[in-house]
A and B are shown apart, each in its own frame.
Chain A
Amino acid sequence: MADTITLEVTRYHPGRDKEPGLQTYGVPLRKEWVMLDALNYVKDRLDGSLTFRWSCRMGVCGSCGMMVNGEPKLTCATFLSDYAPGPVRVEPMNNLPNLRGLVVAPSDFLVKLTKSKPWLIRKEERPLAEGEYLQTPEQLDTYKQFSMCINCMLCYAACPVYGLDPLFSGPAAIALAQRYNMDSRDQGADERMDILSQHDGIWGCTFVGDCTEVCPKNVDPAGAIQQYKLTATREWVKSFLMPWQGK
């Protein structure tokens, strides 16, 4: 294996640069390094002005999402040596506004996420005296997969529908709505259905399926959305055939 590998990294200084550009750096090609190690090497030894997000470096915080050779990846979970002999291109996540360097603005995602009401909604709260809400392992299993989302936004970088139409709620927001819909403790499915059974909700999705491919936590947002479509259709048929059933 060679000693070094070339990184081509996006630099963008708002106000100073008209548009983002690539800058090259040579970093050691260490067998055990991930992309994040290479970026930190650049920042520590070569160019302190390099700007990127990271935190846990173990795939649970969702901070370090970037495009590596055009694919959405967590840089803490992507081995540098997989790209030997290089060069390897590191760019900010697609479809999200570039704030600076490799950093994107997550604000739109947070708006979409809030829209999904990703919290337990109760029509009536149980009194404290009745104790905690109990849930069997099987009940947990119905939504657990969707609860593994770390909000890394790789699915938004992958989703061409979101890229073409920023009004689209997007994979993670819808998957997380479904996570709560399927939770036995939740009573908010109707409320969420009103919000998400819209063109900018589940019906914008054309099942490209790339979101599921890039998800580092196997959430399968595409599956969540298709299941949601089926539920929405069932509800629609019910309300069409039996319009007298109020909510």
Chain B
Amino acid sequence: MPGSAQVLPKMYRTRMSTYWWLGRWPYLKFILRELSSVFVAWFVIMTLLQIDALRRGPADYMEFQEWLRNPVVIALNIISFFFVIFHAVTWFNLAPKAMAIRAGGKRVPAVLIAGPNYIAWVAISAAVAWLLLRG
């Protein structure tokens, strides 16, 4: 009769590397998507600084605008812009997955849920742009 040492196998477990997310492109895309939230937070900070400068007076606001022209800030905002677009696109594309909307006996295809989101995005952006560009 085999003893328990021979019957119970020694299972081998690997611990996930800290850099697991670099191992495959889907994982890297996921982490980049999650990191977009950092740039969302940066935008909030920038907006709060803008509101603060605005309420202090025209001189302070001009100083703030100068700061926005600093190449480091411009570079940061270019990167941030790509990340917030990445957030928006991944968000609109993934949101339909959470909603199992049924109509006419079948599930509504994802594109019919994502589509209106994109349309709303364009419409709202146009409205905001109009408000800020009309002078």
Counting CB contacts under 8 A, is A8 at the interface? no
- Within 8 Å CB of B98, what residues of A? 223, 226-227, 229-230
Do A14 and B24 touch (CB < 8 A)?
no
Question: What's the A-B contact tally at a CB cutoff of 8 Å?
Answer: 73
Do B13 and A213 touch (CB < 8 A)?
no
Counting CB contacts under 8 A, is A99 at the interface? yes
Interface size, A (range): 20 to 34
Interface centre among B16, B34, B99 (most CB of A within 10 A): B16
In the bound complex, CA of A15 to CA of B27 (Å): 34
Do B105 and A227 touch (CB < 8 A)?
no
Interface of B is mostly: mixed
Do B105 and A163 touch (CB < 8 A)?
no
In the bound complex, CA of A174 to CA of B13 (Å): 24
- Within 8 Å CB of A229, what residues of B? 98
Choose one: A70, A97, A141, A222; the contact of B105 (CB below 8 Å).
A141
B18 to chain A, nearest CB (A): 10
Stretch of B4-12, B42-50, B65-73, B111-119 with 4 or more beta carbons under 8 angstroms from chain A: B4-12
Do B9 and A207 touch (CB < 8 A)?
no
- Give 13 CB contacts A-B under 8 Å: A70-B24, A95-B16, A97-B11, A98-B12, A137-B105, A141-B106, A141-B107, A206-B30, A208-B30, A210-B30, A223-B97, A223-B98, A227-B99
